[in-house]
Amino acid sequence: MNVAIPEEDDARNIQAGERILLIDSKDRRYLITLAASGMFSTHAGIVHHDEIIGQLEGCEVVAHQRDESRKSTRVLLVLRPTLSDLILKMPRGAQVIYPKDLGAILMAADLFPGAKVLEAGVGSGALSMAALRAGCIVRGYEIREDFANRALANVRDLFGEGASYVVEVRDVYEGIDERGLDRILLDLPEPWRVLDHARNALVPGGIICAYLPSINQTAEFRSALDRGDYEFAETFEILRRTWHIEGRSVRPDHRMVAHTGFLTTARRVPGRTRRRRAADTALEGASFSSDEAVANAFESEI
Ligand code: SAH
């Protein structure tokens, strides 16, 4: 495939209404929304929005001193925020899932454009944003109205009014009305209480994914998955270690976030556990050699 990438494109010019990052010489970041004739004031001075609107990312803007006789000129770099920048800077009700885990969820839960996703609880909407960015159609259940409104506002700030996003204020432990869901994403304390509802709501082959802060909750979720209709359960955590790279000093950074949460995924495969248990029972009485049984089992693994 040969797709030309335009070198210059006026649509890339920064527009009024956009959110941008201003980054100072010490890499401090300020997230602002541009408005015609708007002003933003920092310790470095006053930035006129009109000097940014119409420019390209990567431009630098002067922070004007309040006292114009002071001649020091400070400049700030202008960049559009990434999704990670926005998630880390956006107003929060509940604790958000961090970008390192969101990236892993995109692959582990196999989020794809057009996927019908149920998410509970929605919290501040960080996971919603990642799923929407991947092209999913997201319905959220959130028990707290204030958090639901916070998530809706955060999503609106990012995608405008057009996002495929609905949030209902309700308790997911009491049931799921949707049918034909491709994915269910859970970030709440007792995800095992959702599994019976998810059985009817998820399509066969659909994926359920739970994010949990502690391993005893994770173990409880895993045993509930083992009770049937869910297969290929996997649990993992993401350890992200950044490195300090400066001249000859090349080493891991001294500090890292030691723990955020455990991720568990499984696929809905109705009836397979029952069929396998029945087959195992039949096998116990069967006469063919155990080597053959092991070989068959191995083949079905790979
Ligand atoms: N994943 C979110 C954060 C979720 S925090 C993000 O990335 O921003 C957990 C949320 O689950 C909280 O907002 C809490 O109110 C909600 N919650 C807890 N129990 C719930 C339930 N039974 N049904 C729906 N939401 C629930």
- Which pLDDT belongs to residue 302? 43
Residue 275 lies in a domain: no
Sequence-distant (6+) residues with CB within 8 A of 217 are 189, 190, 191
Cα separations in angstroms, 59 against 13, 67, 202: 11, 24, 48
First-to-last alpha carbon distance for the chain, in angstroms, is 33
Residues 151 and 202 placed together within one structural domain of the fold: yes
The pTM is what?
A: 0.88
When pLDDT is cut at 50, 70 and 90, the band that residue 124 belongs to is: very high
Residue 299 lies in a domain: no
Examine the fold and report which residue of 48, 65, 81 is the final residue of a domain before the chain moves on: 81
Pocket test for ligand 1, best of 84, 128, 141, 142 (most atoms within 8 A of CB): 142
The atom of ligand 1 lying closest to the CA of 172 is: 23
Pocket test for ligand 1, best of 187, 193, 209 (most atoms within 8 A of CB): 187
Residues 190 and 163 placed together within one structural domain of the fold: yes
Residues 53 and 183 placed together within one structural domain of the fold: no
Residue 112 lies in a domain: yes
Helix (H, G, I), strand (E, B) or coil at 9: coil
CB atoms within 10 A of CB 233: 14
Residues 263 and 237 placed together within one structural domain of the fold: yes
Pairwise CA distance, residues 84 & 102, whole Å: 9
Residues in contact with ligand 1 (CB, 6 Å cut-off): 94-97, 120-121, 123-127, 141-144, 147, 171-173, 187-188
Angle of CA points 296, 301, 302, to nearest 5°: 105
Indicate whether 152 pLDDT > 60.
yes
Residues 119 and 164 placed together within one structural domain of the fold: yes
Print the domain residue range for 241: 84-270
Residues 141 and 213 placed together within one structural domain of the fold: yes
- Which residue has the least CA distance to atom 18 on ligand 1? 188
Strand partners, 62: 75
pLDDT tens-digit map of 170-222: 999 999 999 999 999 999 999 999 999 999 999 999 999 999 999 999 999 99
Looking up residue 67, the CATH number of its domain turns out to be 3.10.330.20
When pLDDT is cut at 50, 70 and 90, the band that residue 44 belongs to is: confident
When pLDDT is cut at 50, 70 and 90, the band that residue 280 belongs to is: confident
Mean pLDDT of 268-297: 70
Looking up residue 228, the CATH number of its domain turns out to be 3.40.50.150
What is the residue-averaged pLDDT of the chain? 91
Q: What is the tally of structural domains in the chain?
A: 2
Residues 261 and 114 placed together within one structural domain of the fold: yes
Indicate whether 106 pLDDT > 90.
yes
